[in-house]
Amino acid sequence: MTETEHIPKLGMDFDTIEDAWDFWIEFGARTGFTPCRFYTHKSKKDGLPSNAVFVCNKEGKRNEECDLITKKKERAETRTSCNVRFGVHREPTTFGKYRVYLATIHMMPSQCHISEIQTNEIVLADASGIQVKRSHEFMSKRAGGVEGTGFIELDHKNFLRTKRQRELRYGDAGNILSYFAQKTKENPFFFYDLQLDSEEQITNIFWADARMRIDYGLFGDVACFDTTYSMNKESRPFGVFVGLNHHRSTVIFGAAILYDETAASFEWLFQSFLNCHNQKHPKTLFTDQDPAMAKAIRSVMLGTYHGLCTFHIMLNGIRHLGNLMKDGSSFLTHFQECMYAYSSEEAFEHAWEAMLSKYSVQGNTWLLSIYKIKEKWASCYMNNVHTLGMRSTQLSESYNAELK
- C-alpha span between 204 and 265 (Å, rounded): 7
- Residue 166: its pLDDT value, please? 46
Q: What is the pTM of this model?
A: 0.58
**β-pairing, 305-308 with 284-287?**
parallel
pLDDT tens for each residue of 330-351: 888 999 999 999 999 999 999 9
| Burial (0-12, 13-18, 19+ Cβ within 10 Å), 64 | exposed
How many CB atoms lie under 10 A from the CB of residue 378? 23
Pairing of the two strands 85-90 and 49-56 = antiparallel
Residue 274 sits at the vertex; the CA angle it makes with 270 and 278, to the nearest 5 degrees, is: 175
- 195, 176 in Cβ contact below 8 A? no
Of 244 and 151, more confident: 244
pLDDT at 391: 66
- What pLDDT is recorded for position 198? 62
| pLDDT above 80 for 80 | no
What pLDDT score was predicted for residue 173? 65
List pLDDT tens digits, range 20-68.
Answer: 888 888 887 777 677 888 888 888 888 888 888 888 877 776 555 444 4
Total residue length of the chain? 404
Report domain extents, the chain.
1-61+77-106, 111-168, 172-309+388-403, 312-376
Query: Considering only CA atoms, which of 209, 221, 206 is closest in space to residue 301?
Result: 221
Question: At 118, phi and psi to the nearest 5?
Answer: -65, -40
